[in-house]
Chains A and B, each alone.
Chain A
Amino acid sequence: MRWTRRRVQTIATWVVVVGWAVVGWAVFYAVALAHADPLPAPDTAVMWLVVPPLLWVLAVRLVLRHWWPGTGSHMSPMDLPGRVLAAAVAALPERRREWGRAMTAELAEVQGRSARWRFAISSARAALWLPPAGGWPVLTLMTAVVAVAAAGPAVGAAVPGLRVFAASFTGLLGAMVVLAVARSRRPRRCIWPPCWPVACGSPWHPHGGRAPAGSHPISARPPVSCSGSGSC
C-alpha cells in the first residue's frame, strides 16, 4: 500500500473521529449522567459529537499538510511496524534521540512480519517510557488532557446555558494542543498519543523545519561514539 499525504490525512481523520466517538462520547455521557437532570437534549449530544472532533480534525489535517512535504514522504517506503516505531521515537527528547535511532536501525535487521511487529511494539513501549521522557510526566499529561476533556462536558451539564461554549472550548483546546505539540521545537518530553501522527516527523526535524539533505536517520551518518552520562 502506497502512503500518500491524502491517505495519511484520511487515516488521521478517522483516528480522531473514532477516538472521540469512543473515548469522548464515553466521557461525555459519564459526566452528563453524573451531573445532568434531566439528561441533555439530543441536539446537545449531537453538538458534542460534531464540534470538538471537527476542530481537531481540521488541526490534524492542517499539520499534516505542512509536515508531509518535508518529512512524511520519507516514511512512505517504511512498513507499518517501521512507522509505529518512528512515531514512538519521535516522542523522545533530543538527548535520547540516539536510542531511538538505535531501535530503528535494529528493526531494519529483524526479519518476518510477526517478529517485526513484536520488535516495533516492544521498542515503541520502551521509547515512550524511557526516562526522563516517559513515566510520571506522560501520565500527568494524559491525566491533564482527560481532565480538560471532561471539564467541558461538566461545565455544559452543570450550566446548561454554557453548553455551546463548553463544546467549543473543548474542541478549540484540543485543536490548540495538536497544533502546539506539532509546532513546538521541543515537544518531545511527553507527547499525547493522538498527536503522534502529526509529530512523527520530529526525528528528522529537531528544529521544526524541513529536513536537510541526508538527514534521514537511515541515511545520516551518526556520531561515531557516544558513551556514558546520556549525553550522546
Chain B
Amino acid sequence: MVLALAEQPTTWRYGYQLCQQLHLKPGSLYPILVRLADRGLLEASWETDVPAGRPPRHLYRLTGSGRALATELAATAGTRRSDLRERWQGA
C-alpha cells in the first residue's frame, strides 16, 4: 500500500481507485488506510471540486514520514531481492 501510494507521492488518490489498483477489497483497504493515518504516514482530504450529483470523495496521499517509510521499504525490498539473487546464483 505504502509503495503504491509512493509511486505518485504528490497525487491524491481515492479509495475505490486504490482497491482496483491493488486488487484489495475495501474491507482490507480501509483498515490499512486508517492505521497509516493514525501513525501520521497518510494525510487525507476531502475533494473540493465535486461534480453535481455525487458526494465528495475522501482523498489520500503519503505524508513526509510516509514517503520516508516508502523509501526505506523500497530499499529493504531491493536488498532482499539482491540477496535472493545472490543465494540463487550461489546454489
Binding site for B on A (CB under 8 A): 96, 98-99, 101-106, 108-110, 118-119, 121-123, 125-127, 129-131, 217-218, 221-230, 232
Inter-chain contacts of B14 with A (CB < 8 A):
106
Residue contact A228 to B26, C-beta cutoff 8 Å: no
Residue contact A105 to B56, C-beta cutoff 8 Å: yes
Q: Is B86 an interface residue (CB 8 A)?
A: no
Residue contact B15 to A106, C-beta cutoff 8 Å: yes
Inter-chain contacts of A224 with B (CB < 8 A):
45-46, 48
Inter-chain contacts of B38 with A (CB < 8 A):
228-230
Residue contact A126 to B58, C-beta cutoff 8 Å: no
Roughly how many angstroms separate A125 CA and B28 CA in the complex, as a whole number?
Answer: 9
Roughly how many angstroms separate A222 CA and B45 CA in the complex, as a whole number?
Answer: 9
Residue contact A226 to B34, C-beta cutoff 8 Å: no
Closest residue of chain B to A219 (Cβ to Cβ) is B55
CB distance from A65 to the nearest CB of B (A): 29
Tell me how many residues of B have a C-beta within 8 Å of chain A.
30
Instruction: List the 4 closest pairs (A to B, CB-CB), nearest first.
Output: A102-B58, A227-B43, A122-B27, A228-B40
Pick the most buried of B15, B28, B35, B55: most chain A CB atoms within 10 A of its CB.
Answer: B55
In the complex, the number of residue pairs spanning A and B with C-beta atoms less than 8 Å apart equals 101
Inter-chain contacts of B29 with A (CB < 8 A):
126
Closest residue of chain A to B41 (Cβ to Cβ) is A228
Residue contact B31 to A226, C-beta cutoff 8 Å: no
Residue contact A126 to B16, C-beta cutoff 8 Å: no
Binding site for A on B (CB under 8 A): 14-16, 25-31, 33-35, 37-46, 48, 54-58, 63
CB distance from B61 to the nearest CB of A (A): 10
In the complex where A122-B27, A129-B31, A224-B48 touch, is A109 in contact with B43 (Cβ < 8 A)?
no
Main secondary structure of the interface of B (DSSP, over half): mixed
Residue contact A106 to B16, C-beta cutoff 8 Å: yes
Roughly how many angstroms separate A225 CA and B31 CA in the complex, as a whole number?
Answer: 19
- Selected A-B contacts with CB under 8 Å, 9 pairs: A99-B34, A105-B56, A105-B58, A108-B54, A109-B16, A109-B54, A126-B28, A228-B41, A229-B37
CB distance from A98 to the nearest CB of B (A): 7
Name the one of A106, A109, A119, A226 contacting B44, with C-beta atoms under 8 angstroms: A226
Roughly how many angstroms separate A130 CA and B38 CA in the complex, as a whole number?
Answer: 12
In the complex where A106-B15, A109-B54, A228-B37 touch, is A130 in contact with B44 (Cβ < 8 A)?
no
Residue contact A232 to B44, C-beta cutoff 8 Å: yes
CB distance from B83 to the nearest CB of A (A): 34
Name the one of B31, B41, B55 contacting A104, with C-beta atoms under 8 angstroms: B55
CB distance from A89 to the nearest CB of B (A): 11
Name the one of A99, A122, A126, A222 contacting B56, with C-beta atoms under 8 angstroms: A222
CB distance from A124 to the nearest CB of B (A): 8
CB distance from B2 to the nearest CB of A (A): 15
CB distance from B88 to the nearest CB of A (A): 38
Inter-chain contacts of A96 with B (CB < 8 A):
34
